[in-house]
Amino acid sequence: MNFVRSLIAAAVALGAATGALADINVGVSISLTGPGSGLGIPTQNQLKQFPKEIAGEKVNLIILDDASDPAKGVSNTRRLITEDKVDVILGSVLTPVAAAMAPVAAENKVLQIAASPVGVPPGQDHWLFRLPQGNDVMAHAVFEHMKKQGVKTIGFIGYTDAYGELWLKAAQAEAERNGMKIVAVERFARTDTSVTAQALKLASANPDAMLVVATGSGAAMPEKAIVERGYKGKIYQTHAAATPDLVRIGGKDVEGTFVVSGPAVVAEQLPESHPSKKTAIDFVSKYEKANGAGSRNQFAAHAYDFQLVMEKIVPVALKKAKPGTPEFRAALRDAMEGMGRTVFSHGVMNWTKDDHWGYTKETGVMLKVQDGKFVVEK
């Protein structure tokens, strides 16, 4: 009898060990403190709805705060890989942090799915895919709208980091393509609390429109400064500013602002023919049920789309290898490239071997701030 009990105990222990080895470990590094917290906290809120199991395998979600700091993002990535043995990493919500994380993930051959439009040198994104729309795609929507508005001259103010630089390059290319001219360029750091000098220079140039390139709560400050200097022209914001923080902090100064966005934050306003309408409404209804009416957020929607990705690629990867192995991590990456047309809350995605951005130029939706709310431009 004791022998039988021992056999049963051993079998149970072996089963438990096997189950532990089969767990899928998902690492997350997002900005829960610092300037990027307005993006990271909604992302975390959505991740509270992440499934505990996918394709019959237990999922462990490990969330770390990168404090909006690239160095912290790097240390988080190393910890997630070496200590937590993650199969995939989501992060970060800030472009400079995600960019710093990318070489570490690639070196260790771990799939990184960025929640920010991070750019890396050509050929270095083998292990990196992006959930947000690329700056080129969104700049296309912005400049198409500017063209319809009769804009000829543009003032630019953006971050000194990668997000600002990538947007400046995209804006310069679109301006040249559309016969427009960027007449003034000013930059500022994410940690700056004032841009008075830059705003004065931009206002004195008096372009037809201003393009503000900033994220979350940080996007309101430069716009308020420009308005306070007496600027009366059109003001545009990028998709990282399509958050309630822009309106909450900007108040009356951001009324009339044009903001490019993915479709998720305006789900109900999308036409019935829009492929993302059903998915976007599902995101909004679930998120706002948990977090309150009007709490929807562009970055929370990226986290929702991350779940859709995992639910699609995990069953494919499981056919090739077990979680916790290099083969499984490689299979996840390969499944990303082969997942085909997939409807997200933020548009239609189709990653391929040659395109780890995935969205088409029809993705961007132009919004306007009216009475403190985002309204789709007709």
Q: Please name the residue ranges forming H helices in the chain.
A: 2-22, 37-47, 70-82, 95-107, 135-148, 162-177, 196-205, 220-228, 244-250, 277-291, 298-318, 326-338
Which residues are CB-contacts of 309 (< 8 A; sequence separation ≥ 6)? 113, 131, 336, 339, 342
For the entire predicted model, the pTM comes to 0.81
- Looking at the fold, whether 76 and 120 belong to one and the same domain comes out as yes
Q: The domain containing residue 66 runs over which residues?
A: 2-133+288-349
Quick one: pLDDT at residue 333?
Answer: 98
Quickly tell me which residue has 């508005």 as its tokens: 149
pLDDT at 7: 39
The strand pairing partners of 366, in sequence order, are 260
Tokens of 151: 């804009």
Please provide residue 4's backbone torsions phi and psi, each rounded to the nearest 5 degrees: -65, -45
- Residue that terminates a domain, selected from 243, 261, 279: 261
Residue 166 and residue 120 share a domain? no
Tell whether 277 is covered by a domain: no
Q: Please check whether residue 199 is in contact with residue 229, taking contact to mean a CB–CB distance below 8 angstroms.
A: yes
What is the pLDDT at residue 22? Answer: 72
Whether 22 maps to a domain, the answer reads yes
pLDDT (0 to 100) of residue 85: 97
Predicted confidence at residue 3, as pLDDT, reads 37
Shared domain for 165 and 256, answered yes or no, is yes
Whether 74 and 168 map to the same domain: the answer is no
Tell me how many domains the chain contains: 2
Do 74 and 86 sit in the same domain of this protein?
yes
Please report whether residue 29 resides in a domain: yes
- Please state, in angstroms and rounded to a whole number, the distance separating the CA atoms of residues 264 and 69: 27
> What distance in Å separates the CA atoms of residue 210 and residue 199, rounded to the nearest whole number?
10
Asked whether residue 32 falls in the same domain as residue 72, the answer is yes
**Domain-located, residue 283:** no
> In the sheet that 365-370 helps form, which strands lie side by side, from edge to edge?
181-188, 153-159, 209-213, 234-237, 258-261, 365-370, 373-376
Residue 98 sits in the same domain as residue 144: no
What does each of the 378 residues of the chain score in pLDDT, given as a tens digit? 443 344 334 444 444 444 445 799 999 999 999 989 989 999 999 999 999 999 999 999 999 999 999 999 999 999 999 999 999 999 999 999 999 999 999 999 999 999 998 988 888 999 999 999 988 889 999 999 999 999 999 999 999 998 999 999 999 999 999 999 999 999 999 999 999 999 999 999 999 999 999 988 899 999 999 999 999 999 999 998 988 889 999 999 999 999 999 999 899 999 888 889 999 999 999 999 999 998 998 899 999 999 999 999 999 999 999 999 999 999 999 999 999 999 999 999 999 999 999 998 878 899 999 999 999 987
Regarding whether 156 and 106 lie in a shared domain, the answer is no
Domain assignment present for 361: no
Q: In this structure, are 312 and 236 located in the same domain?
A: no
- Whether residue 142 is contained in a domain is answered as yes
Give domain status of residue 181, yes or no: yes
CATH number for the domain that contains residue 66: 3.40.50.2300
The amino acid sitting at 157 is: I
146 with 164, same domain: the answer is yes
Judge whether 180 lies within some domain: yes
- Do 155 and 202 meet the contact criterion of CB atoms below 8 Å apart? yes
Same domain, 125 and 152: no
Within this chain, do residues 202 and 158 fall inside the same structural domain, yes or no? Answer: yes
Closest listed residue to residue 155, CA positions, set 191, 180, 190, 189: 180
